[in-house]
């Protein structure tokens, strides 16, 4: 199989690290051919805090995926999240020297590059600059200004900021695991691509990805991402609360949460009891399910209320910004019983659980279509998209070169070769290159 045809997503999470190998089938759907997962040892709240342990976990996940797919992994698309990510709204403008010429890619790039000159806090760097809508000479609500006339081009931007050292640490772990960085993607965006349909993004939707260490939020409206946030709480704090509240060890707390946990305390009768074996011959512990769900409920409410504050910050109460498709929950934490009902109760918004089967081939394994793997599936899709873009660029170069050769040096050019529309290189591609350069020079 051509190396170009497969893409590998590497999701470095707080509780687990997933390496997923996928390719496109003949219907353009994503077919997953191998998955490896390992317990994540060196990551806390989405940020690497032990390089050696993280490298071991990555290698373990990668080996497992390679064995499943009998493919060698060389390049990976990796996701970044973590509590250091924040986002802000910003508007900026450029004045064009010649308003007789139509607006082109170069003008938009100039405007975007200008946003990158924003002064950030020390150690922070702009990761993503996402244009929301443009204005040309004061005319508002323009989705695509290319080809229009105008002297002043302005735009509102959604700017995502993160700590550059955290991103470099992830790059370092990937490189030390013997892998190449193919691309870097923001995890909330990857999850959104995997579980949301285009209609939902148009209608307005909030994606809440509840991971082990963090909860990511991405808000879409009119097909454009409007707001992102990372909240430094996830499923682990719920486990921690159960451990403290019931005085049991973490492993038991995690099992209790998965097997018997519920986000809605009214559900359980007082006489429903679980018995947990004591440590080293001690008496077994008896825990009522009512108490268990009270502990879970308290923490889940806190997490959802924080997310809801972020949705309000986006301004969903305004008529124009209304999220018609409501909320989609994904990530491992979304599998908690009765969570959907609780979210609907707190926010008053329609809610569904998001499975990453939107773009997966029909015969995919049910395990892969679990919300647990939403980010990994999104990263694989991102890698495939990046490869398509590379291929299109190579093809375009070939066409231009062929045209040059055919024309020859002395003959008059007869026809201009129509250039295929190039997709604008996202800043993440440039960031990936900079992280690669940094790592190469640091060796």
3-state secondary structure of 25: coil
CA distance readout (Å), 159 to 44, 111, 298, 345: 24, 13, 33, 31
Cα(438)–Cα(429) distance, integer angstroms: 14
DSSP for 91-147, please give it: EEEEE-S-TTSBP-HHHHHHHHHHHTTS---TTEEEEEEEEEEEEETTEEEES--TT
Looking at residue 271, what is its pLDDT?
81
> What's the pLDDT tens digit per position in 154-180?
999 999 899 989 999 999 999 999 999
**For the chain, first and last CA: distance in Å?**
32
Q: State the CATH number of the domain containing residue 266.
A: 3.30.420.40
**Strands 86-95, 139-142: pairing kind:** unpaired
Average pLDDT, the chain: 89
**pTM above the 0.75 mark?**
yes
Question: Do residues 169 and 186 lie in contact, with contact meaning Cβ atoms separated by under 8 Å?
Answer: no
Strand segments (E) across 331-409? 351-353
Question: Do residues 374 and 354 lie in contact, with contact meaning Cβ atoms separated by under 8 Å?
Answer: yes
Which ranges in 23-80 belong to alpha helices (H)?
51-69
Place of tokens 């302005």: 154
DSSP for 39-51, please give it: E--SEETTEE--H
Looking at residue 2, what is its pLDDT?
57
Using the predicted structure, report yes or no on whether residue 121 has a pLDDT greater than 90: no
Task: Name the DSSP letter for residue 315.
Answer: T
Domain for residue 309, yes or no? no
> What's the pLDDT tens digit per position in 384-435?
998 888 888 889 888 888 888 877 655 554 444 444 455 556 667 777 887 8
Looking at residue 16, what is its pLDDT?
94
Using the predicted structure, report yes or no on whether residue 33 has a pLDDT greater than 60: yes
21, β-bridge pairs: 8, 34
Give residue 329's pLDDT band: very low, low, confident or very high (50, 70, 90): very high
> What's the pLDDT tens digit per position in 74-110?
999 999 888 888 888 899 999 999 888 999 988 998 9
Top-confidence range, 127-136, 302-311, 386-395? 302-311
Task: Name the DSSP letter for residue 256.
Answer: H
CA-based Rg of the chain, rounded to a whole angstrom? Answer: 24
Cα(195)–Cα(371) distance, integer angstroms: 9
Q: What's the full length of the chain, in residues?
A: 443
Looking at residue 134, what is its pLDDT?
93
Encoded tokens for 228: 């992102």
Residue 265's nearest CA partner among 183, 337, 174 is 337
Domain for residue 253, yes or no? yes
Give residue 327's pLDDT band: very low, low, confident or very high (50, 70, 90): very high
Domain for residue 278, yes or no? yes
Domain for residue 156, yes or no? no
Looking at residue 418, what is its pLDDT?
45
Q: Count how many domains the chain has.
A: 1
Looking at residue 301, what is its pLDDT?
96
> What's the pLDDT tens digit per position in 101-111?
999 988 998 99
Domain for residue 21, yes or no? no
Encoded tokens for 388: 């398509």
Residue 338's nearest CA partner among 375, 291, 301 is 301
Give residue 4's pLDDT band: very low, low, confident or very high (50, 70, 90): low
Residue 287: domain span: 235-296
Residue 306's nearest CA partner among 337, 346, 266 is 346
Domain for residue 349, yes or no? no
> What's the pLDDT tens digit per position in 42-70?
999 889 999 999 999 999 999 999 999 99
186, β-bridge pairs: 80
Domain for residue 315, yes or no? no
Using the predicted structure, report yes or no on whether residue 333 has a pLDDT greater than 60: yes
Using the predicted structure, report yes or no on whether residue 26 has a pLDDT greater than 50: yes
Top-confidence range, 266-270, 305-309, 358-362, 437-441? 305-309
Encoded tokens for 364: 């995919």
Cα(405)–Cα(272) distance, integer angstroms: 80
Question: Do residues 389 and 2 lie in contact, with contact meaning Cβ atoms separated by under 8 Å?
Answer: no
Q: How much of the chain, in percent, has pLDDT values that exceed 90?
A: 59
Question: Do residues 47 and 82 lie in contact, with contact meaning Cβ atoms separated by under 8 Å?
Answer: yes
Domain for residue 263, yes or no? yes
Looking at residue 410, what is its pLDDT?
53
Residue 44's nearest CA partner among 14, 72, 8 is 14
Residue 161's nearest CA partner among 189, 122, 120, 126 is 126
């Amino acid at each position: 199989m051509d190396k170009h045809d497969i893409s590998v997503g590497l999701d470095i999470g707080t509780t687990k690290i997933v390496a997923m190998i996928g390719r496109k089938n003949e219907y353009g759907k994503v077919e997953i051919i191998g998955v490896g997962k390992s317990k994540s040892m060196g990551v806390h709240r989405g940020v690497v805090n032990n390089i050696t342990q993280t490298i071991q976990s990555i290698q373990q996940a990668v080996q497992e995926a390679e064995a499943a797919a009998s493919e060698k992994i060389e390049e990976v698309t990796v996701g970044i999240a973590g509590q250091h990510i924040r986002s802000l709204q910003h508007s900026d403008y450029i004045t064009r020297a010649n308003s007789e010429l139509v607006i082109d890619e170069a003008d938009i790039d100039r405007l975007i590059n200008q946003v990158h000159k924003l002064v950030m806090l020390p150690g922070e760097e702009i990761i993503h600059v996402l244009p929301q809508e443009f204005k040309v000479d004061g005319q508002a609500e323009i989705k695509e200004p290319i080809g229009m006339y105008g002297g002043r081009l302005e735009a509102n931007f959604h700017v995502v900021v993160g700590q550059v050292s955290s991103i470099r640490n992830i790059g370092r772990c990937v490189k030390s695991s013997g892998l190449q960085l193919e691309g870097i993607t923001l995890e909330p965006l990857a999850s959104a691509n995997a579980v949301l349909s285009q209609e939902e993004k148009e209608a307005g939707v909030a994606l809440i990805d509840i991971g082990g260490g963090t909860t990511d939020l991405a808000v879409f409206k009119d097909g454009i991402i409007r707001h992102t946030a990372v909240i430094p709480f996830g499923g682990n704090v719920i486990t921690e609360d159960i451990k403290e509240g019931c005085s049991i060890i973490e492993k038991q707390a995690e099992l209790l949460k998965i097997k018997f946990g519920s986000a809605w305390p009214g559900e359980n009768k007082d006489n429903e009891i679980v018995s947990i074996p004591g440590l080293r011959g001690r008496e077994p512990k008896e825990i009522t399910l009512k108490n268990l769900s009270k502990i879970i409920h308290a923490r889940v409410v806190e997490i959802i209320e924080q997310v809801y504050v972020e949705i309000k910050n986006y301004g969903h109460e305004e008529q124009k910004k209304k999220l018609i498709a409501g909320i989609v929950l994904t990530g491992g934490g979304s599998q908690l019983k009765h969570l959907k009902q609780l979210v609907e109760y707190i926010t008053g918004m329609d809610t569904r659980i998001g499975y990453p089967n939107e773009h997966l081939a029909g015969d995919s394994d049910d395990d892969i279509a679990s919300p647990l793997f939403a980010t990994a599936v999104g990263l694989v899709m991102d890698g495939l998209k990046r490869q398509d873009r590379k291929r299109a660029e190579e093809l375009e170069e070939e066409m231009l070169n062929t045209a040059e050769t055919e024309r020859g040096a002395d003959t008059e050019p007869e026809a201009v070769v129509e250039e295929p529309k190039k997709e604008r290189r996202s800043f993440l591609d440039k960031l990936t290159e900079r992280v690669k350069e940094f790592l190469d020079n640091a060796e």
